[in-house]
């Protein structure tokens, strides 16, 4: 058992060392730290001997061009901008000892050397630079062979106690799968798990290193906008791993995939030294590129100088794709582990039940009934009761209030379960989700040819990221879509190319409703679409602004003998708004109602449905839209699709080839 006092100590240490979890009231400490660091970066030793030694070190560092070495660039997160000058990705000034340290690697290195000679008393709560930047100190000490008689090494007790408490034997990169009901989890997430040998048989007591944004309270639109534009800070923090398992596995129902990395002892030491430094750093957080996965790769590159993967991501960094990069490194990932979510564990139990056990279970999870099952032959009381208890935890994990009748029933079930002696072993061998490395690449280019009621056409499509309903669902959330800047340019015979459609953001989650999760389905789409209308018996096309929001429910045989074999049927209703000069008063709006069906089996998928749009409220003609699509995937990167679409005043049929990269 991990000593409780060490857990407490660890929390205290991080509360005072990692900027990510510093209390809001510590702003004066942050300002003091910033001002102190700037003064320490200009430190001039009092004795002439120390002044002389400092100058010798600076001269030698310049002669060896240390500020141009890759490790120094990585420590400071320096990148060269398109204009040719250096700039650090770190966005808070407190991380730098030189005034222009964010843009000048050499001046930051010289300021760092100055700071190591700090003789002034360190203000309470702050650290000596040798302790605040242990990896900078360790690296420069090796490169310049510090003379301990001329530069005295400062004891760093806080850092040493913290390091000893963590003491990881190895590291694992953890991928948390997508959960489309929570906007923050749509992209997936990665973190690092510190595997302490002491916790070998109780790994939930390990710690996790997380890089995440701190958005605070805001509405979903502000959250999305600021996340796309770097509108809030991201920082590193460390948490007991069981908290992350509870958050992702239990509360958000996300399966976890753990990839254990092979690290040498000196690489683990380097990782810890630099992680401690990162407690001072904040970054502007971007959903698409400078996100959780990107900064984890960079911190691992500091630990492992031979690793060079952050530059292989392109300008889109999908968490699932970073797992592919780790796996592509020869010998880096030495094992993989699947940790099912609480919801998946409930499903495992249901799949293992007999018909009679299932019937009893589904009656019991109507907690109003509040009954205890009677003993029967071939009836596993423990299996059914455990599934009901898990379902209670799943339903109420994020709710502040629990009906008294339900809570009383839960307590009653706990007592009942404690008296059961029958044993069972849940079969959790086959993962209920697919690992991220099986996912397709997120960007897409496609070309299409088709015929329509307005003539033949050819079109080109491009999508920045991530996934649409017709893509292969392996490695992604099934029955879901998350697309950014999905753009279509089309040209009809003898006509100029036109921007046919552009979805700035499109999100869809069509997960089946059931008595356990009770998830609702939704589709949100905003951007540009082409409206077809009649003017003096002439059919015309015009690009218009588009806003479409639909909510409803989806249904499937999720718990049948062959789950989802019947496909997913969705019923959605919502509102659609389009603006254009051809509409009455320049806008049409009204309710819409959709009936959709999708079924995927292997390389094939069909998607069909119809939507009725009522624009009478805006005094415009009603409309409808119907579609039938079929896809065949040759591989993870090549798809062929055939589709037929129709709406009022327009029909078309097309075949398209999609390349994902």
Tens digits of residue pLDDT in 582-601: 999 999 999 999 999 999 99
Q: At CA 461, angle to CA 459 and CA 464, rounded to 5?
A: 170
Residue 462 β-bridge partners = 445, 487
Cα of 541 vs its chain's centroid, Å: 39
Q: Determine the pLDDT at residue 13.
A: 40
Predicted confidence band of residue 368 (pLDDT cuts 50, 70, 90): confident
What lies within 8 Å, CB to CB, of 265 at 6+ separation is: none
Q: How far apart are CA 289 and CA 295, in angstroms?
A: 10
Does residue 489 have a pLDDT over 60?
A: yes
**Residue from 147, 119, 150, 146 nearest 50 by CA:** 150
Mean pLDDT calculated for residue range 299-325: 92
**What one-character DSSP code corresponds to residue 636?**
S
> If you average pLDDT over residues 370-377, what whole number do you get?
89
pLDDT above 70 as % of the chain: 95
pLDDT in tens, 396-442: 887 889 999 999 999 999 999 999 988 888 888 889 999 999 999 99
Q: What is the pLDDT of residue 10?
A: 43
**Token output for 626:** 């119907």
Element (H, E) at 355: helix 355-364
Model pLDDT for residues 609-644, shown as the tens digit of each residue: 999 999 999 999 999 999 999 999 999 999 999 999
Please tell me whether residue 643 adopts helix, strand or coil conformation.
Answer: strand
Are the CB atoms for 495 and 475 separated by under 8 Å? no
pLDDT score of 21: 35
**Phi, psi for residue 240 in degrees, rounded to 5:** -55, 135
Give me 222's structure tokens.
Answer: 């502000």
Residue 658 near residue 641, CB atoms below 8 Å: yes
pLDDT of 2 above 50: no
- pLDDT value at 77 more than 90: yes
The yes-or-no verdict on residue 270 having pLDDT over 60 is: yes
As a whole number, the mean pLDDT across the chain is: 91
| pLDDT of residue 200 exceeding 90 | no
How far apart CA 414 and CA 565 sit, in angstroms, is 35
Q: Of 179-183, 282-286, 552-556, which one has max mean pLDDT?
A: 552-556
Pairing of strands 189-196, 232-240: unpaired
Residue 517: pLDDT band by 50, 70, 90 thresholds? confident
Confidence check: pLDDT of 14 > 60: no
Tell me which of 130-134, 285-289, 548-552 is least confident.
285-289
Radius of gyration of the chain, Cα coordinates, nearest whole angstrom: 29
Is 620:584 a contact under the CB 8 Å cutoff?
A: yes
Beta-carbon-side half-sphere exposure of residue 517 (alpha carbons within 13 Å): 28
**Does the structure show a pLDDT above 50 at 23?**
no
Quick one: fold of 439-660? Porin (2.40.160)
* pLDDT at residue 218, as a whole number: 64
Supply the pLDDT for residue 1: 38
What are the CA-CA distances from residue 28 to residues 33, 36, 42, 125, 585 (Å)?
8, 12, 22, 11, 56
Return the pLDDT at 82.
84
Q: How many CB atoms within 10 Å of residue 393?
A: 13
pLDDT of residue 45: 94
Q: Which tokens go with 278?
A: 């990162």
User: In degrees rounded to 5, what are phi and psi of residue 284?
Assistant: -70, 130
301 in Cβ contact with 307 (< 8 Å): yes
100 pLDDT exceeds 60? yes
Mean pLDDT, range 363-392, rounded to an integer: 92
The closest of 262, 294, 191, 661 to 445, measured between CA atoms, is 661
- Give the residue with greater pLDDT, 4 vs 439: 439
Closest CA to 103 of 115, 119, 91: 91
Report the C-alpha gap between 110 and 511 in whole angstroms: 57
- H helix count then E strand count, the chain: 17, 22
Q: What is the mean pLDDT of residues 16-42?
A: 69
The residues with which 240 forms a beta bridge, in sequence order, are 207
- CA dist., res. 45 & res. 304, Å (int): 34
- HEC string for 62-90: HHCCHHHCHHHHHHHCEEECCCCCEEECC
Which structure tokens are listed for 171? 């590291």
Range 63-84 average pLDDT: 95
* Backbone torsion region of residue 408, taken as left when φ is above 0, otherwise alpha when ψ lies between -120 and 50, otherwise beta: alpha
- Token pair for 331: 């010998």
Q: Check whether 16 has a pLDDT greater than 60.
A: no
pLDDT score of 183: 66
Q: Residues near 83 by Cβ (< 8 Å), separated by ≥ 6?
A: none
Return the bridge partners of 310, or none.
none
Which residue matches tokens 């790769």?
A: 297
d(Cα 135, Cα 142) in Å, to the nearest integer? Answer: 11
What is d(CA 467, CA 444) in angstroms, rounded to the nearest whole number?
9
Instruction: Name the DSSP class of 249.
Output: I
pLDDT surpasses 90 at 83: no
Confidence label for 12 from pLDDT (cuts 50, 70 and 90): very low
Q: Is 143 exposed, middle or buried (0-12, 13-18, 19+ CB in 10 A)?
A: middle
How far apart are the C-alpha atoms of 466 and 485, rounded to whole Å? 10
Specify the higher pLDDT residue, 316 or 144.
144
Domain ranges of the chain: 29-155, 165-339, 355-419, 439-660
Residue by residue, DSSP assigns 127-167 as --HHHHSHHHHHHHHHHHT--TTTSPPPP-HHHHHHHHHH-
| Residue 587 CA to its chain's centroid (Å) | 37
């Amino acid at each position: 058992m991990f000593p409780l006092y060490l857990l407490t100590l660890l929390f205290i240490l991080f509360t005072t060392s990692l900027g990510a979890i510093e209390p809001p009231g510590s702003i004066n400490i942050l300002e003091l730290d910033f001002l102190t660091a700037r003064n320490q970066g200009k430190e001039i030793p009092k004795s002439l001997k120390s002044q002389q030694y400092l100058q010798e070190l600076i001269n030698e560092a310049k002669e060896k061009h240390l500020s141009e070495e890759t490790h120094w660039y990585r420590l400071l997160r320096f990148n060269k901008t398109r204009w040719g000058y250096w700039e650090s990705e770190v966005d808070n000034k407190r991380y730098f000892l030189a005034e222009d340290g964010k843009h000048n690697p050499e001046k930051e290195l010289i300021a760092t050397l100055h700071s190591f000679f700090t003789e002034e008393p360190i203000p309470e709560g702050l650290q000596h630079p040798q302790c605040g930047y242990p990896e900078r100190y360790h690296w420069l000490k090796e490169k310049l062979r510090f003379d301990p008689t001329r530069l005295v090494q400062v004891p760093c007790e806080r850092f040493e106690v913290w390091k000893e408490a963590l003491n990881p034997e190895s590291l694992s990169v953890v991928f948390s799968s997508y959960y489309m009901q929570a906007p923050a989890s749509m992209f997936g997430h990665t973190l690092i798990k510190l595997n302490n040998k002491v916790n070998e048989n109780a790994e939930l007591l390990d710690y996790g290193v997380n890089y995440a944004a701190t958005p605070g309270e805001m509405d979903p639109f502000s959250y999305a906008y600021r996340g796309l534009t770097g509108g809030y800070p991201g920082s590193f923090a460390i948490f007991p791993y069981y908290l992350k398992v509870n958050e992702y596995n239990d509360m958000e129902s996300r399966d976890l995939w753990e990839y254990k990395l092979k690290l040498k002892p000196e690489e683990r030491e380097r990782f810890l030294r630099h992680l401690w430094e990162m407690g001072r750093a904040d970054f502007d957080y971007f959903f698409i590129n400078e996100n959780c996965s990107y900064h984890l790769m960079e911190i691992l590159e500091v630990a492992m100088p031979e690793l060079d993967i952050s530059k292989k991501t392109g300008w889109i960094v999908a968490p699932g794709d970073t797992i592919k990069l780790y796996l592509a490194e020869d010998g880096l990932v030495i094992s993989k582990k699947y940790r099912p979510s609480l919801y998946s564990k409930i499903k495992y139990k249901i799949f293992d039940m007999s018909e009679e056990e299932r019937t009893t279970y589904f009656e019991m999870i109507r907690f109003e009934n509040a009954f205890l099952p009677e003993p029967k032959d071939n009836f596993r009381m423990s299996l059914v009761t455990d599934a009901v208890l898990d379902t209670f935890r799943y339903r109420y994990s994020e709710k502040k209030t629990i009906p008294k009748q339900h809570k009383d029933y839960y307590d009653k079930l706990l007592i009942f379960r404690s008296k059961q002696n029958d044993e069972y072993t849940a079969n959790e061998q086959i993962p209920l989700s697919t690992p991220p490395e099986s996912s397709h690449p997120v960007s897409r280019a496609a070309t299409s040819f088709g015929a329509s009621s307005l003539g033949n056409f050819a079109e080109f499509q491009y999508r920045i990221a991530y996934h649409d309903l017709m893509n292969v669902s392996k490695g992604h959330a099934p029955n879901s879509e998350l697309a950014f800047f999905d753009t279509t340019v089309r040209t009809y015979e003898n006509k100029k190319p036109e921007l046919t459609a552009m979805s700035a953001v499109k999100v869809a989650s069509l997960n089946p409703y059931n008595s356990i999760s009770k998830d609702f389905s939704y589709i949100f789409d905003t951007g540009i679409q082409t409206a077809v209308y009649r003017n003096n018996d002439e059919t015309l096309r015009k690009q218009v602004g588009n806003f479409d929001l639909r909510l409803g429910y989806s249904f499937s045989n999720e718990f049948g003998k062959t789950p989802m074999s019947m496909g997913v049927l969705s019923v959605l209703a919502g509102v659609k708004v389009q603006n254009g000069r051809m509409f009455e008063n320049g806008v049409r709006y009204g309710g819409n109602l959709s009936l959709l069906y999708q079924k995927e089996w292997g390389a094939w998928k069909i998607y069909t449905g119809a939507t009725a749009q009522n624009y009478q409220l805006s005094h415009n003609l009603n409309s409808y839209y119907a579609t039938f699509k079929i896809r065949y995937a040759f591989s993870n990167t090549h798809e062929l699709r055939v589709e037929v679409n129709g709406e009022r005043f327009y029909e078309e049929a097309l075949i398209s080839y999609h390349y994902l990269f």
